[in-house]
Structure 1
Amino acid sequence: MTRPAGSGDLMAEARARALPYLPFALVGALGAVLAYLWKWPCRVGGAWNDGTRQFTHFCYTDIYPLYFDRRLSEGQLPYFADVPFDKHVEYPVVLGWFMQLMSWLVSPIADLTTRAERFYDLTVITLGICLVIGVVLMAALAGRERRWDAALYALAPGVILAGYVNWDLAAGVLSLGALYAWSRQRQWLAGVLLGLAIATKFYPLMFIGALFLLTLRTARWRPFLETMGAAAVAWLAVNLPVMIFAYEGWSRFYVFSSERGADWGSLWFFFQQKGWPFLGDPARLSFLGIASLALLCLGIAVLALMAPTRPRLAQLCFLALASFMLTNKVWSPQFVVWLVPFAVLARPNRRAYALWQAAEIWYFFAIWLYLVGLQPGNEALGITADTYFTAVWARALTIVLMMALVVRDILRPEHDLVRQDGVDDPSGGVFAGAPDRFRGFRLLPATA
């Protein structure tokens, strides 16, 4: 068979483009393997069936128990199953179908325990692939001079410890894919990936605000509207069928999120446990969460529009996502996976990043020891609430520190390590190098 003319050149060009990213794929694979090995004591020792050992071995995961608790082990379809409301999958639809696909693949296995273990294995292998792809995407987003910053994502202690606690790496790769498509001015693809990311986990919704603010500054409306249109179509395409034919199951995520009280990891949980007036009032929780997030977003908007130099997209994405996490009603250990790539892209400062990761390590161990201490008879194995809350605040304050450094970089671009390399915005797409169109006062004099 004759090869089409020019196909060899195209293949050679594709290999030449891909080859520089091979080391990042290998580093990502190393991170994925290390994350799997961290869970190994539970995977082979039966600790997932022991309410204490899975915590004292620090290898808990949601993936194994939810296979049983959400009736996937019985062949029930997510959202469509005839089960009590609280037994429906409490995640957006892409994640629910991801779980179902893994369940179908292991269904021929007769032994229930073996089937559940294979469900976990296939799930984390797929999530590991998501991590590898995410690391490669991040290397591309970081720009030629800072590609190796992607290793800070692949080998982040928080990612290795908590990457397989839940399915968050799936939303992470879709979010990074959307940002990469935007950086290459592929607006329709960016929108589709963003819509799918929001239909996997809700947090990528925060990135729409970052895109909108930079659109206001640059007046690049058509790319923004194309992206939002594609995102809406993609989100509706995967949600509408479930909304129409299984509304109760579909609504479980939204009802659960709205009715959920202050939970482990959140600052609201600390305020409630300590009985603080006003801030610790459970009746005001939803209002306080929404109001505090709105105030932070308003501050980000003022900063984005009035800063002397247009902020980078990754900086605003980081600030928006960090604000969402700080004000959320729950802050699970795996949420670190959300923030790591955007923290690195926004502020590749090793010292601040290392301090935050140290706080994440402390929190990871503290939460499981705290849960052990809540079990009757195991108080000596755990830690007190006060010790646990030092980890809660350490994590929050180190993120606030990184946010402050990003704000400084926006106000004083000469401190921005990315722009010191002579580039404007590696992930900015149509925003990179765009002139300001927004007319308003400036927080500081405009820089050249």
Structure 2
Amino acid sequence: MPSPPVPSTWELTTPDKPSWRTRLSSGRGELVLILLIALVISSLFMWLGYLGKATCGGPPFDQSGRSAHWPVGTGEIIMPCYSDLQFLWIGRDINNHVFPYIHGGITDNGVLYGGVVEYPVLSGLLMYFGASGAHTDSDFLFQSALLLAPFGILIVILLTLLARWWVLLWAAAPALILYAFHNWELPVVATTVVAVAIMVFGARINPRTGLPWLSLRTSAFWTSFVLALGFCLKIYPGLFVVPLAILVLTRALRPTQISKSELDWKGAGGVVGVAVATVIAVQLPFMIAGFDGWKASLTFQGKRKADVDTNTIWYWGLRHLVGDGPQDGGSVYNSIVGVASPLLIVVGMAAAVWFGVRHWQQGNVFPWIGTSAAMLAAFMLFHKVHSPQYTLWILPFFVLLAVDWRIIALYLIGDIALDLTIFRMFGILTRGDDMTWWVMGGVQLGVWSHALCLLILIYHFVGAPLRVPPKTTFPERSAGATVPA
């Protein structure tokens, strides 16, 4: 028989390399491609968003550093250039570089002074650092954008790892152009996404041990810490500690896999304890250094009314039923909202938790992510304030959870309609001009489409699975308990 051919030196030293198509079709290659596309698109959108907001600034500036082009800009075409970033340059002593909360307070008329801002302390610190060295509102916008952009990039990276191609619902959403640099939302959104990532990645199996990288308790404690930081940025992530504690209580098991005696009450208490301790640790220095200033930010929110600039069902719905003038019940309207809003928030969030528990009782792992999203929907629906940029709060849950595409489409269409009209409506009202039909129509479409979607999502979120279910398990003794959505 003829001897087999002897391989050449080239064949011995240089093995065949997989083609680019083969590498791309592999999981890691596809992930890199998705991440690259998402980062390019999101960076472009954030850059466009900055350019749009920057048209409200530029020389000439007055003595306080306020641009003469504020608040309508010079080259505004479609997107309003107004942003809360530039608005708060004046009136909160940000332009005077006063360290927040320590020296200030609130007047009897509800006016903040002495560096107090109406946001939780970590957001106030971001504003202070964003204004460091700035002398104009344009400088403040630019430096704040530099602070915020890394959080936007972090969100994209984590959502790519968690949801693959679905990340484009965030990265390519018009909301990223409209709101990335409208307010200080990106850091608080990042805490939510980081929290989900800790739970999912912590549950992945270590191939060397066959066990999760982190135990359920350890993952939950770190997640609770991050959510508490989110609470100190914009409140709402703190709500998610409740469903997280319930997940730990049930040990991320189905009801058929655990008895009442096995419920982890100590672990659930630890989740709550970590959150409380973190919030106290962050807030306490400000309370000690300037209690009146720290308290003033809370007082401001308590006194805030559901007015025309809050985009809520209260102003555009209830107001028409009870009247809004001093002769026809304006005080009645404010009194009703003052009671009904917090009451319905509590009821709505309790309903979301109940839906989650019912989902667990029906034989599923407790859906802590879906329940958290449902609690957020209730909070956004019934709160006295519903700013357009809150779309960034809920958008990651559209990415992570398999939400009906029609709900997402209606929500985002309403969001665009609201943002493109609400700030124009403010200008018309300020000038006393006749209201334009399409402006009022856009505002109404935005407010009521959001309200309808949020009402549905209080229930719909809870049963929605993760779009890309991780092949992981938390409980060491139960290979069938996958990380819940």
State TM-score, norm by structure 2. 0.73
Distance 1:312 1:353 in 2: 20
Distance 1:276 1:425 in 2: 53
1:349-364 equivalences under 5 Å are: 349-364=404-419
Q: CA deviation at 1:314?
A: 2.2
Counterpart residue number, 1:443:
none
Q: CA deviation at 1:99?
A: 1.4
C-alpha spacing 1:387/1:363, structure 2 compared with 1 (3 Å):
closer
Counterpart residue number, 1:171:
188
Q: Say whether 1:129 aligns with 2:141.
A: no
Q: CA deviation at 1:324?
A: 0.3
1:125-274 equivalences under 5 Å are: 125-142=146-163, 147-183=164-200, 184=202, 185=214, 186-218=219-251, 219-221=263-265, 223-263=267-307, 264-274=310-320
Question: Do the aligned residues in 1 keep the contact of 2:422 with 2:439 (CA within 8 Å)?
Answer: no
Q: Say whether 1:73 aligns with 2:107.
A: no
Question: Do the aligned residues in 2 keep the contact of 1:191 with 1:226 (CA within 8 Å)?
Answer: no
C-alpha spacing 1:120/1:424, structure 2 compared with 1 (3 Å):
closer
C-alpha spacing 1:152/1:195, structure 2 compared with 1 (3 Å):
same
Distance 1:67 1:384 in 2: 28
Q: Say whether 1:58 aligns with 2:86.
A: no
Question: Do the aligned residues in 1 keep the contact of 2:158 with 2:194 (CA within 8 Å)?
Answer: yes
Q: CA deviation at 1:380?
A: 5.5
Distance 2:479 2:338 in 1: 40
Question: Do the aligned residues in 2 keep the contact of 1:370 with 1:383 (CA within 8 Å)?
Answer: no
C-alpha spacing 1:39/1:136, structure 2 compared with 1 (3 Å):
same
The range that moved more, 340-349 or 372-381, is 372-381
C-alpha spacing 1:430/1:281, structure 2 compared with 1 (3 Å):
farther
Question: Do the aligned residues in 2 keep the contact of 1:32 with 1:132 (CA within 8 Å)?
Answer: no
Distance 1:78 1:417 in 2: 40
1:418-437 equivalences under 5 Å are: 418=467, 423=469
Q: 5+ residue gaps in structure 2?
A: 1-27, 61-65, 203-213, 252-262, 324-328
SS of the residue corresponding to residue 69 of structure 1 reads coil
Counterpart residue number, 2:384:
329
Structure ranking higher on relative contact order (CA contacts 8 Å, 6+ apart): 1
Match of residue 39, structure 2, among 25, 29, 32: 25
SS of the residue corresponding to residue 80 of structure 1 reads coil
Q: Deviations over 1:167-195 (max 9, x none)?
A: 01111112221222233143343232212
Match of residue 275, structure 1, among 321, 326, 332: 321
Question: Do the aligned residues in 1 keep the contact of 2:421 with 2:439 (CA within 8 Å)?
Answer: no
Who wins on radius of gyration, i.e. which is larger?
2
Distance 1:52 1:382 in 2: 22
Q: 5+ residue gaps in structure 1?
A: 1-14, 411-415, 437-448
SS of the residue corresponding to residue 42 of structure 1 reads coil
Counterpart residue number, 1:96:
124
Q: CA deviation at 1:262?
A: 1.0
Q: Deviations over 1:48-88 (max 9, x none)?
A: 64566258860111112312221122231111235655132
Question: Do the aligned residues in 2 keep the contact of 1:94 with 1:199 (CA within 8 Å)?
Answer: yes
Q: CA deviation at 1:329?
A: 0.3
SS of the residue corresponding to residue 365 of structure 2 reads coil
The range that moved more, 346-355 or 72-81, is 346-355
Match of residue 373, structure 2, among 313, 318, 336: 318
Question: Do the aligned residues in 1 keep the contact of 2:246 with 2:366 (CA within 8 Å)?
Answer: no
Question: Do the aligned residues in 2 keep the contact of 1:214 with 1:304 (CA within 8 Å)?
Answer: no
AA aligned to 2:337 is: L
Match of residue 306, structure 1, among 358, 368, 375: 358
RMSD, aligned α-carbons: 3.3
Counterpart residue number, 1:446:
none
The range that moved more, 389-398 or 216-225, is 216-225
Counterpart residue number, 2:461:
406
Distance 2:333 2:432 in 1: 30
Q: Say whether 1:344 aligns with 2:399.
A: yes
Question: Do the aligned residues in 2 keep the contact of 1:58 with 1:368 (CA within 8 Å)?
Answer: yes
Distance 1:417 1:238 in 2: 32
Question: Do the aligned residues in 2 keep the contact of 1:174 with 1:197 (CA within 8 Å)?
Answer: yes
Q: CA deviation at 1:364?
A: 0.8
Match of residue 293, structure 1, among 322, 326, 345: 345
AA aligned to 1:53 is: V
